[in-house]
Amino acid sequence: MKYRQIGKWGVRLSCLGIGSYLTFGLKVDDETTKEIIKVAYENGINFIDTSNAYANGAAEEALGRCLSNFSRSSLFILTKAFYPMGLGPNDRGLSAKHIKEQCEASLRRLKMEYIDVYMCHRPDSKTPLEETIRALEDLTRQGKILYWGVSEWMPDQIVKAQSVAKEVGARPMIINEPRYSLLYRYPELDIFPTTLAEGIGNVNFSPLAHGMLTGKYLPGKSAPKGTRAADLDINEDIMGLYWTEENKQKGQELAKIANDLGVSAVQLAITWCLKHPAITSVILGIRTVEQMKENLKAVDIDITEDLMEVLDKLYPAPKKRPAAPTG
């Protein structure tokens, strides 16, 4: 396994991380979860990403049950707050009240004394940044979190947050979590230049575009049974963002390129993400031990500049973002 610092900061993450969105506590049972984590840990992965909102707390609970036998100091745990966790008017957002209460709830579910990174899952236009950042600073001083970060914030929001943190004497954010893949390259336009300038690391989610980059979806065919795209419970993102005949055809071309290299489309798509200098770690959505073992091989693939040009031609970088950010 290879390790990278989070931006300019001292802590080091494995360049592959384990995600829990739509998997642990929802589609993956505890026995399989334990086996996936065991294989990941034995191969050097120290980074696990989750959220209070994933399966309404069940993902954190599953991790709490499955991580109890691991050394806490050998793990780097990231969880989040923002989305509704109840029906009350204060059961959502980034107010000081919600942040404090949800951090404590996450600690109980995870069965841990502290969280390595506590993340603002989305921006909250109804709460002043000063309130949010002071609440995060309070949690840091109490020893409940070590660092904080954001997910799916725009560049101006990131820069403003860093400025406010400095103004109020709080610790700055160290990490950002964007959607990023061959099929979603918008962070290259603005997010990555901003985070590189600010010394912020990036851990990206959805490196396989919800499975669209695996090559398993065939042009002119519906989604095979058992795949994410065929699961009505969890296929909203892939259907809304990527499900086109053009993208299915490109997936076949990507699979051929990978096959000619002696690797899988999955491995190549993950390795491509790691090629960008702004990326600290790629978050993997794993449902089986076999997937975990296949994904691990991505760290050993070398992408040449010639291959990068081929992939750029197949999945060209966008010239601008859509009118409103998707996802």
Give the active site residue among 3, 21, 41, 54. 54
Alpha carbon distance 293, 313 (integer Å): 29
Whether the CB-CB separation of 173 and 162 falls below 8 Å is answered with: yes
**Cβ contact 258:270 at 8 Å:** no
User: SS3 for 180?
Assistant: coil
Q: Which two tokens stand for residue 63?
A: 């991790």
Handedness of CA 158, 163, 169, 174 (dihedral sign): positive
117 backbone dihedrals φ, ψ, rounded to 5°: -130, 125
Q: Is 54 a catalytic residue?
A: yes
Could you tell me which of 50, 14, 3, 17 has the C-alpha nearest to residue 283?
A: 17
Are 114 and 106 in contact, with CB atoms under 8 Å apart? no
Give the three-class secondary structure for 317.
Answer: coil
Whether the CB-CB separation of 29 and 40 falls below 8 Å is answered with: no
Dist CA 322 CA 41 (whole Å): 39
Contacts of 198 (CB under 8 A, 6+ apart): 7, 158, 159, 162, 172
Q: Residue 298 is encoded by which pair of tokens?
A: 């991505």
Q: What is the CA radius of gyration of the chain?
A: 19
3-state secondary structure 88-103: CCCCCCCCHHHHHHHH
Task: Name the residues annotated as catalytic.
Answer: 54
